[in-house]
Structure 1
Amino acid sequence: MKLRLPKRTKRTREWRWTTDRRKAEKTQRKTQHTPKPATTRSDNRTPHSGIARLTDALPRTPIPAPLNTPARRHTLTAITHIAALELRTTARTRLTWTITATWTALIYGFLLLALATTGTNAPTLLHSITATTTLITTLILAPILGVTPLARTRATGLLDMFRLTGFTPRTISWGTTLATTTQYTLLLLIATPALAIGTLLGNANPLDLAGTLLTLAVTGWTLTCLGSATATLIAHRALASFTAITLTGALILTPVLLFSALLPLTNEATNAHVATSTPLHTTNGHHPEQFITCTVTNATRHRNRPDHIWWLLLPQPFITLADAAPRIPHTFAFEPLTALRTAIRTTRTTPPTPPTIDECPLPSRPTEHTKNTPPTPTEKIRATITEQRRTTAQQAEKLTPHWPISLAIWALIGATTTAYTTRRLKTPGPAAYGEHTIHHAPTNT
């Protein structure tokens, strides 16, 4: 009897291929759930059996290669590796392009609005408007830039993958900071042409623009570091962003509130030359009338000494920007940054001693009446006050700029928040919604 072999049909081949695939998947599942003996490692960690589940849950981004030698874990190569990974991931997100579009629209929108509305005063006001707009946008968007990378790596489980591949908390923190700083630097490069246009139209020294750019760069870097620290403290991205913006507002308002609260404590009593009014009674027929004349006397008056506590305003970013901004040539138009800079420098100067105070309500005589007659005591007092104000303004212009000290304070805040981020990354924080957790496999004892 002739033996008939089954035909190799297409259905048979598909059935055999499906059977082999199912057997391979079953064998793989058994292998994954089989406990493996613990191995001795320098960092007291054991292999994890849930690595396949974690890898499946991660987004399709390049996984960093492990650094085998402990000496390489703190090198610049590891930091740039994490920064490049964060930048590639960030470039694919919609939030990044939304922030970039918002940044560009606000800065150049206000630039065009200033050109259209200020008219002849545009050269004076343009740099002040663009610089202030850039700083306000930085104070809002820079904390969000700092929150986003760490919040995303925690939510997707990539932070645990960094730990498994041998990256230390310091490397992760510095790499994330480098990525956020690079993002903000690109945004600042977008705003640089708008700032340069305002400087050139205002006939200011182009080299003075470096002070404005440096102030914006240090402020943005500090706020991104603050956002990263907030992301390690609060797992939810939206709540962490709100907290970072709230802390930024506290950094802005706290110096002003402290200065206002402590200013009354600097009040002192001093002897002053005071022009006061004195009633003079005369009789004009049957109707007595009361006239007022002004006399100069020495009297005790109280005054505040803001020059004793002006340093409380050093961390205020708008005051720092005003002190570092280019000097626009004097015009009759009001320029906000120049006015703020003059007010702060006047606060720093020591008031004259003894002070001269004008409390006389009578107006001064017209100039044509004072040419051939000696000035009255009140007019002498007012001339003295005018001269003292001129002297104070000259002393204020000769003061050393304080914006380098302010930037040093902001850099110290950024370094402190980066150190806090590194400390928080040493221990895993509370899991965010949807965060993937690695389950340790049991070890053999």
Structure 2
Amino acid sequence: MNFSHIGTIARLELIQRLRSVGWYILLGVFALILLGVTVLSFAVYSFTEAAGAGVYSIVVNVVLLLVVLVSPTLSGNAINGDRDAATLAAVQVTAVSTGDIMVGKLVAAIATGGVFLVVAVPFLALSLVGGGVHPATFAVSLLVLAAEIVVVAGIGVGLSGLIARPLFSVAATYLVVAALTIGTLIAFGLGGMALRSETTSYNRPYDSMGNVDCDRWETYTYDVPRFDRVWWALAANPFVVLADATPTVYDANGWPVDMFGQVKYSVRSSQLPPEDYRWDECDRAMTQTPSPAPREVIESTVPSWFVGLGIQVVIAGGLFAGAWARTRTPARMLPPGTRIA
């Protein structure tokens, strides 16, 4: 591969984007969305001492949301779009190699997703002024966000080289991204509800006078969903990866101060198996087993972000490698009706 050739391919791809008025309209709409989200986020976290931490986490998640929604459209036709326009063959007969084309297209797709992060910089800076953002949280969250941008770009470019028609490759990219974001949630919810088990509730009964009978226990058995058996289904979700990898900052009561920690706490809580419920009204001190604090739950459960990110990298890398093989010239086999020149 030649870095000069890669830069040329990426530059040509980006110039096509910059010439489009719709691209600037899209960025303007994104900036307006971030402005509204930032204002509302400050209103939500105004009662906390570290309001900036909450606002920062929301802005980063919104950037990831926009990347997930927009990048498939911009990268899902990177290869077959040029083939359909009869410009890919003209490039392939030059000194540019297949690797140069593939990597150049990938770099352009990553840069396109990175533009959203650049637009978000003023809003991220505003949240930093609000205070409470830990340096580790800031650094790790941006690194994971960048990794997710690369993964989504790789999926789009890969499918654009494997599928002949741009419309179908864009749709397929959306389906893969939707499987990672929404499909994992559906699998988690349905799987947890399908795998059920019995648990028992213990309470003191009342006598005919309405007084608590401290000599007996009343039990009630019922079914509960077993999300602890399917929590791993959420591992590959981009938003879960972002939250789970980001270091958690807690307030004085042990509660997460930002959205990263709140999502992490919700996901990690699903790893805990259901327990029998016991309430003793005869215990005047009401000494019941307290529920574990969020900090205890997070520190006692298993992180999964590296597994989820690994699954995403394998998917994106496999699709990208397949597209590389399909784009290599001379081509041994192409789908019927594929335009070459």
Instruction: Give the shorter-chain TM-score range.
Output: 0.7 to 0.9
Displacement of 1:137 after TM fit?
A: 0.8
Q: Secondary structure at the match of 2:270?
A: helix
Alignment partners' CA distance in 1, 2:126 and 2:249: 13
Question: C-alpha offsets along residues 125-184 of structure 1, whole Å, 9 cap, x if unaligned?
Answer: 312321221121111111122125335422332101122225444432222112211222
What residue number does 1:340 align with?
Answer: 263
Query: Does the aligned pair in 2 maintain the 1:255–1:315 contact within 8 Å?
Result: yes
Q: Which runs of 5+ in 1 are unaligned?
A: 1-73, 283-289, 365-375, 439-445
Q: Which of these residues, 79, 87, 91, is aligned with residue 18 of structure 2? A: 91
Q: Give the % identical residues.
A: 20
Equivalent in 377, 380, 384 of residue 288 of structure 2: 384
Q: Distance in 1 between matches of 2:259 and 2:278?
A: 28
Amino acid at match of 2:207: L
Deviation at 1:200, TM superposition (A): 4.8
Task: State which of 290, 305, 312 in structure 2 corresponds to 1:410.
Answer: 312
Show the counterpart of 1:198: 127
1:281 match: secondary structure? coil
1:341 CA displacement: 1.5
- Cα distance 1:431–1:252, how it changes in 2: closer, same or farther (>3 A)? same
Relative to 1, partners in 2 of residues 1:312 and 1:279: Cα closer, same or farther, differing over 3 Å?
A: same
Against the structure 1 CA distance between its residues 197 and 413, is the aligned structure 2 distance closer, same or farther, given a 3 Å change threshold? Answer: farther
Q: Which residue of 2 aligns with 1:307?
A: 228
Give the aligned partner of residue 147 of structure 2. 218
Alignment TM-score, normalising by the size of structure 2: 0.80
How many residues are matched?
Answer: 332
Describe the shift of the 1:411–1:197 C-alpha distance in structure 2 as closer, same or farther (beyond 3 A): farther
User: Which of 102, 116, 139 matches 1:173?
Assistant: 102
Aligned to 2:324: 422
Matched, 1:102 2:25: no
Distance change (3 Å), C-alpha of 1:217 and 1:98: same
Aligned to 1:7: none
Residue aligned with 2:248, SS: coil
Once the two structures are superposed, the pairs formed by residues 24-423 of structure 1 within 5 Å of their partners are 74-115=1-42, 119-121=46-48, 122-123=51-52, 125-234=54-163, 237=166, 240-264=169-193, 266-269=195-198, 274-282=201-209, 293=213, 295-296=216-217, 304-325=225-246, 327-330=248-251, 336-349=259-272, 355-358=275-278, 376-377=282-283, 383-386=287-290, 389-390=291-292, 394-399=296-301, 401-423=303-325
Is residue 263–residue 306 contact of structure 1 (8 Å, CA) maintained in 2? yes
Q: 1:429 to 1:232 in 2, by over 3 A?
A: farther
Structure 2: which amino acid aligns with 1:341?
K
Q: Label 1:208 to 1:424 Cα distance change in 2 as closer, same or farther (>3 A).
A: same
Contact 1:199 1:326 in 2 (8 A): no
Contact in 2 for aligned 1:202/1:328 (Cα 8 Å): no
| Alignment correspondent of 1:51 | none
CA RMSD of aligned residues (A): 3.5
Is the CA contact (8 Å cut-off) linking 1:99 and 1:141 kept in structure 2?
no
Contact map agreement 2:27 2:119 (CA 8 A) in 1: no
1:431 deviation in Å?
5.9
Per the TM alignment, residue 277 of structure 1 is displaced from its structure 2 partner at its CA by 4.3
1:133, 1:398 → 2: CA distance?
29
In structure 1, C-alpha distance between the alignment counterparts of 2:16 and 2:337, rounded to whole Å: 21
The structural deviation recorded for 1:350 is: 5.5
Contact 1:114–1:129 under 8 Å retained in 2: yes
| Deviation readout 1:184-214 (Å, 9 max, x if unpaired) | 2233233234234324524131231122112
Instruction: Give the Å deviation of 1:256.
Output: 1.8
Task: For structure 2, list consecutive stretches of 5 or more residues without a partner in the other structure.
Answer: none
> Deviations along 1:298-338, whole A, 9 cap, x unmatched?
88765554333322210112222222345344279985443
Task: Report the 3-state secondary structure (helix = DSSP H, G, I; strand = E; otherwise coil) of the residue aligned with 2:298.
Answer: helix
Q: TM-score, normalised by structure 1?
A: 0.63
Q: Which amino acid aligns with 2:270?
A: T
1:307–1:210 CA distance, 2 compared to 1 (3 A): same
Counterpart-to-counterpart distance in 1, 2:179 and 2:145: 18
CA contact under 8 A between 1:196 and 1:206: conserved in structure 2? no
